[in-house]
């Protein structure tokens, strides 16, 4: 039905126990809060772990791309979506989905899906960020993978946004392999203060295992202890 053939959805029925963020109604406000509150003292970029103290060549990355949200909401353009769809504005402004990224890396990511890419060829020499323009895939460094997974899990459950089934399985592995770092936990706490909602997958990564399950299995969920993040890098 859609032009994106790959978009074979694993859209599961999402319970509405989560409340959307309502405190940041438009993206212009989110941008201001992002720079002035969330990254007031700078930070590290998501995909490359680059330290930054100013906004120079750093942009705000929507980990769950807004093109996917527009497709789901069936509004045609960024302008139209912003003008006509309040839900779109809340989605676009949700800080849990926003991370700093180097501009050229964000441009290369575009709205490619996350996946493992065979080989270790890097287009961005100093940065462990692999990019497959043919299949439209990207593979971020290990320390970013859990952050990416939990941001996307959150957007999927919070707003009912669709998830590609293959990507979901990859993200579940990444969620297990890269535990929340102190900085990711601190960020979650700060975002709760700024917009009033938490990312529950950072509080309890084992919740990610239940996404996409045909039948909820809360009584059989076991805590995940299988892996420690083996290459946690500073900052994220």
Residue position matching structure tokens 């709760």: 192
Using CB under 5 A as the binding rule, whether residue 178 contacts Ca ion is answered as yes
Question: In angstroms, what is the minimal distance from the CB of 84 to Ca ion?
Answer: 36
Question: In angstroms, what is the minimal distance from the CB of 151 to Ca ion?
Answer: 11
Using CB under 5 A as the binding rule, whether residue 92 contacts Ca ion is answered as no
Residue position matching structure tokens 């941008």: 31
Question: In angstroms, what is the minimal distance from the CB of 65 to Ca ion?
Answer: 20
Using CB under 5 A as the binding rule, whether residue 46 contacts Ca ion is answered as no
Which residues are within 8 A (CB) of 66 and not within 5 positions of it... i.e. 6 or more apart?
78, 81, 91, 92
Could you give the CA distance from residue 236 to residue 10 in angstroms, rounded to a whole number?
Answer: 28
Mark the segment that binds Ca ion (CB under 5 A) among 20-28, 81-89, 138-146, 205-213: 138-146
Mark the segment that binds Ca ion (CB under 5 A) among 102-110, 117-125, 174-182, 191-199: 174-182
Residue 3, CB-side half-sphere exposure with 13 Å CA sphere:
5
Using CB under 5 A as the binding rule, whether residue 146 contacts Ca ion is answered as yes
Mark the segment that binds Ca ion (CB under 5 A) among 16-24, 126-134, 144-152, 166-174: 144-152
Q: How far apart are the first and last CA of the chain?
A: 38
Could you give the CA distance from residue 33 to residue 24 in angstroms, rounded to a whole number?
Answer: 9
Question: In angstroms, what is the minimal distance from the CB of 186 to Ca ion?
Answer: 12
Q: Which is nearer to Ca ion, 94 or 178 (CB)?
A: 178
Using CB under 5 A as the binding rule, whether residue 143 contacts Ca ion is answered as yes
Q: Are 39 and 82 in contact (CB under 8 A)?
A: no
Query: What are the residues facing 9 on neighbouring strands?
Result: 164
Question: In angstroms, what is the minimal distance from the CB of 147 to Ca ion?
Answer: 5
């Amino acid at each position: 039905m859609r032009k994106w053939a790959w978009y074979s959805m694993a859209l599961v029925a999402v319970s509405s126990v989560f409340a959307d963020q309502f405190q940041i109604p438009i993206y212009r406000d989110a941008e201001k809060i992002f720079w002035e509150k969330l990254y007031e003292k700078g930070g590290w970029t998501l995909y490359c772990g680059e330290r930054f103290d100013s906004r120079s060549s750093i942009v705000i990355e929507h980990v769950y791309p807004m093109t996917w949200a527009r497709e789901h909401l069936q509004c045609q353009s960024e302008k139209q979506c912003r003008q006509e769809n309040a839900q779109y504005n809340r989605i676009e402004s949700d800080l849990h989905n926003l991370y700093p990224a180097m501009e050229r890396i964000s441009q290369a990511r575009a709205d490619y899906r996350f996946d493992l890419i065979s080989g270790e060829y890097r287009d961005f020499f100093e940065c462990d960020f692999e990019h497959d323009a043919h299949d439209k895939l990207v593979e971020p460094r290990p320390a970013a993978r859990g952050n990416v997974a939990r941001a996307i899990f959150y957007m999927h459950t919070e707003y009912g946004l669709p998830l590609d089934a293959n990507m979901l399985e990859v993200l579940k592995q990444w969620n297990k392999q890269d535990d929340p770092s102190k900085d990711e936990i601190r960020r979650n706490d700060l975002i709760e203060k700024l917009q009033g909602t938490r990312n529950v997958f950072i509080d309890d990564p084992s919740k990610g295992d239940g996404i996409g399950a045909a039948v909820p299995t809360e009584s059989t969920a076991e805590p995940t202890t299988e892996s420690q993040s083996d290459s946690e890098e500073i900052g994220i």
